[in-house]
Structure 1
């Protein structure tokens, strides 16, 4: 059953305080943007009149992968397929926790074939992929933090899928509703930094969802519009290092003040499709 936190009376957000951060070796899955293009528009960032340079996109993607490898993380690859330009956004492919894997059920027809390919990859790695009855867009809207799963809705993932996710993984799920179409997935408006710390952009959420977040994460980092609009929150953290879009300079300063080590990367070409660092990174949680 989906769990909703009750807002505390007079709860107010505070800024994360410096503490000792520890990196943990991570396991990531990525898909090269070999066929990346903006051939349709299913989010406000996509403009079919704005040409995409696939060579630049590949170079930026390789830089991101190389950063992960240099940090000692494992990176597995899923082979992209022609005609599926959004496969580079691997985070949307599903959710994998402790050997259990849910494969995405996409909202838009343009992406539905991706589910079968990610399911095939999961089977090739020994998983038995589980399908939800309702739309879920993987780690785009399903973000584990500690023993809880934060689950987004409003634009992509059906809130009815949240209860299914809770049952499949045996974890409490906190439902959060997004209201700004520019932040159509949870991972565009909220970043998990460690098992207790998140960063988010408050205006992307309903009042009730903001109240839940204020109660659950009173020391969260609250990001300004300038950093949110460059997809600064579409970031990946290993508990110490936070890989984020380089243009989010204010967020980088906030991370440093909170004891994290920010690493900026330029994924501007991939932002043309409405994705950045986290969108390109499916984490295998164990």
Structure 2
């Protein structure tokens, strides 16, 4: 299947690369990666979604995108996503967000609801207010980052199912591409934001996928998230931790296809 990585220039002058794969006439599906990752976190998912026009950018400050000193609030990140759609000449798309990528997707759906045809929230939070247990480690970061620290940071999210070693190595490579200031700024932007479902309403059809062993996002919050999005569907993955995308790409793909086909 034809694919390319396009260099997109947002209205702010920031350059972000974006994987574009699939037939131009197919339904567009925008993939938003988590904090500290890149478009390559979807490498195991993308081949399973061949019926869609896949759009997978590196978000500001992460992967191979430009790394400015500012622009990392949750609203800024949502505006970047809208600018990515503009640069791709798309009025809207279905949006799949992994972890904090789903938080950004929620914010876009609140701020610019006409841009989100549907949401697939994969291990996505209801709220990130408060200080996560690993925040002190992040605050202590300095350049150059230590590879052992980045690898150990993956243990913040215990796995319920096996993940290929090469894939974990790629996530370490993603983390090493981010300056310490970006690690800090993105986390601060997420944690300081008013939760999207408290700031406004989400009306896009929404599928919520959550791992029952998620030690970061309790089930009670996922149930509140589902209750706040009218008509949303919450599916629980047994034996799965927070990083649902890493552990269950085949199931995420199957549930995404079924959900979007039913709209």
Higher relative contact order (CA 8 A, sep 6+): 1
Q: Same fold (TM over 0.5)?
A: no
TM-score by length of structure 2 reads 0.27
TM-score by length of structure 1 reads 0.25
